[in-house]
Amino acid sequence: MNFLAHLCLANGDSGLMLGGIVGDFVRGRRALRAYPEPIRQGIVLHRYIDKCTDRSPVIKKLRPVFPREFRRYAGIIIDLAFDHELAVNWWRYMPGSLERFDLEARDLLREHAEWVPEKLTIFMEYADRHGLFSAYRDLDVVFHALAGIGKRVSRPNPLHRVSEIWPELGPEFKSSFRQFFPQIQSEVLDWRMRNSTTTGS
């Protein structure tokens, strides 16, 4: 899952939101010790969500649909496609507007800047320039983001050409997202109940 989905799945809990968005930048169990417990729980949840996503039958069924040339990068494309679907259908899953959620997420990061990795700060500067996360509603923004990721990948890749396969795969993304997202919401709810997570929302 990508940034917007991780933030959404934290369901308003500030610690889980922070851990959800920094989770991609924290590697290994030892690195967790540097963070206060609420954020640590969010990082652990982030990893749990990624694990559930990887083993989901919905996702496993979606990957082979990609043309062979794009299959190696299916995970990256699915992440952005699902953030697009979440942004377009925000009203189905969260109260309030996505624009308001954007502002609240940025306020949270500013208030806890000491825990924000430098790479995430750089990404958020990019997000501010491009109107993310609400701009994920616009497919051109999604294609631009994928092309940018492609430039940072060391080997040649087709991420700058995802627009070519979207007419065929877009309906698959929509259908898969609508199956998968309620499932992962349920998985996260179960996780929170098992862990009795109250992190200061």
How much is the pLDDT for 200? 45
What residues have CB less than 8 Å from 160, skipping those under 6 apart? 146, 147, 150, 151
Q: What is the pLDDT of residue 113?
A: 92
pLDDT at 9: 95
201 domain-assigned: no
Encode the chain (201 residues) as per-residue pLDDT tens digits: 789 999 999 998 999 999 999 998 888 888 888 899 999 999 999 999 999 999 999 999 999 999 999 999 999 999 999 999 999 999 999 999 999 999 999 999 999 999 998 989 988 888 888 888 999 999 999 999 999 999 999 899 999 999 999 999 999 999 999 999 999 999 999 999 998 644 444
* Residue 166 is assigned to a structural domain of this protein: yes
Evaluate whether residue 91 is within a structural domain. yes
Q: Given this model, what pLDDT does residue 28 score?
A: 84
Burial 124-139 (b: 16+ CB within 10 A, else e): beebeeeebbbbbbeb
Residue 83 within a domain: yes
pLDDT at 201: 43
Residue 175: inside a domain, yes or no? yes
On whether residue 9 sits in a domain, the answer given is: yes
CA dihedral (82, 186, 57, 90) in degrees, to 10, reads -20
The domain tally of the chain equals 1
Classify residue 27: in a domain, yes or no. Answer: yes
State the Cα–Cα distance between residues 134 and 195, nearest whole angstrom.
31
pLDDT at 199: 46
Q: How many CB atoms lie within 10 A of CB 78?
A: 23
User: Which pLDDT belongs to residue 128?
Assistant: 87
Could you tell me the residue range of the domain that residue 23 belongs to?
A: 3-195
